[in-house]
Structure 1
Amino acid sequence: MKNKQLWINHIKGLCICLVVIYHSVITFYPHLTALPPGLTEYIAKCWIYMNLYLAPFRMPVFFFISGYLIHRYIEQVKWQACIDKRIWNIFYVLALWGILQWLGITLINQWLAPDLARNPTSNAAYSATLMQFVISMAKASTSLWYLYALVVYFIAFKLLRAYKVPVLIALSGIYVVISFMPLPWWGMNSVVRNMLYYGLGAWFGPQLLAWMKGFSFRQHPMICGLVGIGSLALYLVNVPLVISVVSIFVIMKIFYTLDSRRESRPEAFLNIVGSNTIAIYTTHRIVIEALSLFTLAQINQGQLSGQVMLAILLFYPFASLAICILTGLGFRKLSAKMFGDMFFSPPAKLGPAASAS
């Protein structure tokens, strides 16, 4: 029987890879203070700009798929049966890993960069006090804001499912407004901006996927060209909404077409990664902090040869990605075998309404 959902898992795998690369770049290249002018500086800037331009193609499709996969819970499953799996489970992982990231990254900074000044309010992981940590988490100023968003989105879209079109129109307007007047908290800004994509998946995902499967680019070249030019023009004036929606459609069409020609396999790399997105997402930020601080010290102190430094600058995001994936997968297996998977799912005896699911 055809594994009809595997191609969607492959997209999830691609998305989490892009997220890890994004964090690898922003924690490394902007902090290189001893690069000589020339090729090395050019490579660093290329990674920074490429990372920036990938933004419309990273989280929108991730959130659309996240919404699509819980469509049934939104439309058919009663609240009592949703609380444990769709709300409590995610909140548990968010709270637990928020604390683990805070403790882990604090210790890493004290060990590898004790003199480095961090803004304690910029990220919950850099908090100096418990109160700062709680406030930052409440404002979604955390590297785990994706999990924060999943909890908020599920509750909001299940409550508002009787007003689908007006809500999505309002979210589109809000998106455009905050493109020019961002909210003061970067995490909450990201949560609000991506809400529309999750809603499209949660409310209209099955219909949009059915339409996507039957759509042919060859039969509508003029329309595709005009949409592409229009979305790019809006993106250049800081309104990436349309190009993000288009990217969702194009990415899903590509993966669906590839799956139609050659069926996705469970042992494929992207399927394995896509099946373990939460483990990779929660662990990667700690790994990246240690890796970036260590590597930055070697480069900024001039302890590496020119050839080694050039190789690092070229391939650092890919090396970081490989290490983060292996760490996430390994820790997930360790959690399952030794701790009853308590690092990624709440202990049954502590989970509320366990019998209702």
Structure 2
Amino acid sequence: MKNKQLWINHIKGLCICLVVIYHSVITFYPHLVQFQTGFPEYVAKSWIYLNLYLAPFRMPVFFFISGFLITRYIDAVQWRDCVDKRLWNIFYVLLLWGVLQWLGISLINQWLAPDLVRNPTSNAAYSETLIQFATSMAKASTSLWYLYALVLYFLVFKSLRQFRVPVILMLLAVNVVISFAPLPWWGMNSVVRNMCYYGLGAWFGTQLMTAMKEFNLRQHPLICVAAALVSVALYLVNVPLVISLVSIFVIMKLFYVLDNWRESRADAFLNIVGTNTIAIYTTHRIVIEALSLFTLGQISAGRISDNLLLAILMVYPFVSLAICTVLGLGFRKLSRAAFGDMFFSPPAKLVTATQAR
């Protein structure tokens, strides 16, 4: 693997780590602020607010990189040759893990928190009936909405590649509008909001990557300061588009510079995680649900001392990330060794049949 691919893979690794931390926070700390006071309450709220402020730095660059990596499929590969890797493979994983998350999280909730009230329409994983599950999946109201987006985005950007400039301008405008008039479904809201970043990567990624590499921060200090001030000002009035675009540039520039300073290694943590984003992304939500409900149960029952509780509140997202990473990588290895990787790739017969059509 070339260094160029390694530093990009490191960015993917960072993004999936931020996604795991995000879910670790939202499934744990909001339940604590209701009955914790003093310093523990302050720590819990700090994690919640930090999670919100990290939003512009989490998914935009993830989608930009995802779009950039499929530029060849968008421009040069025929539709029938895209079905397997770019459509069927992702749709298969989305459907399979949608069902596995639904079954797994339902069982975990019945076991660890049978009295906890969940809104069955808020997430496909909390559905009480097959109809609710299918409806939530169709509306992208699922923790797997990133996979949902990848399928939809590819269809849109390969179909409309002849209208790149007007379409991307429209999507940038939609990103701003949706900040003030969000869609009623959180998942679809996220899908629509992030579409412009994927499009920038898929349609203009090569040019933007070249510009990023050639841009010298020291030679343009006023531009950098102006971009920072404008992006923060707009973010404070609920327009995160500019700060998200700036974050894409800054994160890519940082990793590119670090790669030039010290050669990226294939055995680095972020590279390993970045190579296995799908495995960690699909499995982590089940692990997080079990971990958060178990820990909350121990806290509610008074089995955790005050000092230990404070320590848990300080480091919980990082511990959760470590557990989710180890289990995700381990399950991927098991899937490959024992099941022909059928948990992350369509069975060979289905793939062959799809390619033959």
Same fold by TM-score greater than 0.5:
yes
In the other structure, the counterpart of 2:244 is 244
Question: Deviations along 1:200-255, whole A, 9 cap, x unmatched?
Answer: 00001111001100101100001111111001100000000000000000000000
In the other structure, the counterpart of 1:173 is 173
Structure 1 segment 44-55 matched on structure 2, within 5 A: 44-55=44-55
In the other structure, the counterpart of 1:207 is 207
Asked if 2 retains the 8 angstrom alpha-carbon contact of 1:21 and 1:318, the reply is yes
Cα–Cα, structure 1 residues 34 and 232, in superposed 2: closer, same or farther, change >3 Å? Answer: closer
Structure 1 length-normalised TM: 0.98
Asked if 1 retains the 8 angstrom alpha-carbon contact of 2:101 and 2:285, the reply is yes
RMSD of aligned Cα (Å): 1.2
The secondary structure found in structure 2 opposite 1:218 is: helix
Q: Number of residues paired by the alignment?
A: 357
Q: 1:38: how far off? A: 1.3
Distance 1:126 1:329 in 2: 25
Distance 1:229 1:248 in 2: 16
1:323 and 2:302 aligned: no
1:15 and 2:15 aligned: yes
In the other structure, the counterpart of 1:125 is 125
Q: 1:52: how far off? A: 0.3
Q: 1:54: how far off? A: 0.1
Q: 1:198: how far off? A: 0.1
In the other structure, the counterpart of 2:149 is 149
Structure 1 regions of 5+ residues with no counterpart?
Answer: none
Structure 1 segment 78-227 matched on structure 2, within 5 A: 78-227=78-227
The secondary structure found in structure 1 opposite 2:182 is: coil
Q: 1:352: how far off? A: 5.8
Distance 1:253 1:83 in 2: 33
Asked if 1 retains the 8 angstrom alpha-carbon contact of 2:30 and 2:48, the reply is yes
Distance 1:272 1:348 in 2: 25
Structure 2 length-normalised TM: 0.98
Distance 2:231 2:23 in 1: 26
Q: 1:348: how far off? A: 1.4
The secondary structure found in structure 1 opposite 2:219 is: coil
Distance 2:37 2:93 in 1: 44
In the other structure, the counterpart of 2:303 is 303
Structure 2 regions of 5+ residues with no counterpart?
Answer: none
Question: Deviations along 1:90-132, whole A, 9 cap, x unmatched?
Answer: 0000000000000000000000001111100000000000010
Q: 1:3: how far off? A: 2.7
Question: Deviations along 1:288-313, whole A, 9 cap, x unmatched?
Answer: 00000000111123221011100000
Distance 1:230 1:123 in 2: 35
Structure 1 segment 28-47 matched on structure 2, within 5 A: 28-32=28-32, 35-47=35-47
Distance 2:14 2:350 in 1: 34
1:258 and 2:295 aligned: no
Q: 1:355: how far off? A: 4.2
Cα–Cα, structure 1 residues 33 and 253, in superposed 2: closer, same or farther, change >3 Å? Answer: closer
Distance 1:140 1:319 in 2: 28
Distance 1:6 1:293 in 2: 36
Distance 1:204 1:117 in 2: 45
Counting aligned pairs with the same residue, the percent is: 75
The secondary structure found in structure 2 opposite 1:162 is: helix
Asked if 1 retains the 8 angstrom alpha-carbon contact of 2:149 and 2:191, the reply is yes
The secondary structure found in structure 2 opposite 1:349 is: helix
Distance 1:129 1:82 in 2: 34
AA at the equivalent of 2:281: Y
Structure 1 segment 313-352 matched on structure 2, within 5 A: 313-351=313-351
Distance 2:356 2:225 in 1: 50
Q: 1:350: how far off? A: 1.0
Asked if 1 retains the 8 angstrom alpha-carbon contact of 2:84 and 2:355, the reply is no
